[in-house]
Amino acid sequence: MQSRPVRFGRLVELLLNDRLVVRFAVLFTLAVAGFLICQAIAYLWLPQGLLRGASVGAVVAGNEAAGSFMIEWARIIAWNLPILILVFVAPNLLRLVGIPMGYAPAITMTAYMGIITGTNSFTMAAEVGKIAPSLEWLANPGFYEIAAFVLAAAATYEITRWQVVTVGGKESMVRFHPVHGGWRSRQLWVGLTGAVAVLLAANAWEAQRIFEL
């Protein structure tokens, strides 16, 4: 069953645009806006280190750098690559109100990262004190990790197999048939390959920064 969402107007049309660059630009804009808003709120009103050591990632990473750059890089990849696949790509197999579910963490997880950044809750912090919103964020590997996650979600928007629709006031699950080839789409693989490449490069940058602390 083919279905196009009819709610949320122009924004949904842009998020489901045929062109990857449009989908990515809109979704990334929403993600960055969520990040900056939550970072500002955290910086202004939440205590420093509020979430330090409270996340699964912090527990897995520990509070000490690895013995070499390559081991640290591998450790970061081993955490971030499954996140990209399981949190941002796999949920796109389902659509809710016409929206691929991988789009949700693209916004909510970046908002969470904004709180971590604003309160400086990093396990191995490179700065002292809370971190105010600024353009210096563009020179941080975390910015490009977010970009990679969002790109992966946008690139795989059409891998959906099922979607929830409302018929006669009742919700039901129906089969979704991609219009542009699904997994066979060249655009999908270009975007997904680019997302993984950006993620690996950002992880190498992050590993180098940690190893130099």
Q: Please, which pLDDT band fits residue 26 given cuts at 50, 70 and 90?
A: very high
pLDDT at residue 175, as a whole number: 87
Classify residue 40: in a domain, yes or no: yes
pLDDT at residue 79, as a whole number: 93
Classify residue 173: in a domain, yes or no: yes
Which of 141, 27, 120 has its CA nearest to residue 77? 141
Which of 143, 121, 123 has its CA nearest to residue 35? 143
Least confident of 37-51, 85-99, 175-189: 175-189
3-state secondary structure of 34: helix
Q: Please, which pLDDT band fits residue 49 given cuts at 50, 70 and 90?
A: confident
Cβ count near 204 (within 10 Å): 17
Q: Please, which pLDDT band fits residue 4 given cuts at 50, 70 and 90?
A: low
Length, in residues, of the chain:
213
Classify residue 187: in a domain, yes or no: yes
Which of 145, 156, 194 has its CA nearest to residue 23? 156
% of the chain with per-residue pLDDT over 90: 59
Model-level pTM? Answer: 0.89
Classify residue 2: in a domain, yes or no: no
Give how many domains the chain has, as a whole number: 1
Which residues, listed in sequence order, are joined to residue 170 by a DSSP beta bridge? 167
Least confident of 47-51, 79-83, 150-154: 47-51
Rounded Cα gap, residues 185 and 26, in angstroms: 21
3-state secondary structure of 174: strand
Q: Please, which pLDDT band fits residue 148 given cuts at 50, 70 and 90?
A: very high
At 149, list the tokens.
Answer: 């996650």
Which of 114, 129, 103, 143 has its CA nearest to residue 48? 129
Q: Please, which pLDDT band fits residue 6 given cuts at 50, 70 and 90?
A: very low
What is the pLDDT averaged over residues 149-175?
A: 89
Q: Report whether pLDDT(25) > 70.
A: yes
Classify residue 179: in a domain, yes or no: yes
Q: Report whether pLDDT(126) > 90.
A: no
Rounded Cα gap, residues 35 and 117, in angstroms: 9
Q: How far apart are the first and last CA of the chain?
A: 54
At 75, list the tokens.
Answer: 């450790």
Q: Report whether pLDDT(64) > 70.
A: no
Q: Could you list the residue range(s) of the whole structural domain that residue 205 is in?
A: 9-211
Q: Which amino acid is at 207?
A: A
CA atoms within 13 A on the CB side of 71: 7
Classify residue 4: in a domain, yes or no: no
Q: Report whether pLDDT(55) > 70.
A: no
Classify residue 3: in a domain, yes or no: no
Classify residue 82: in a domain, yes or no: yes
pLDDT at residue 21, as a whole number: 97
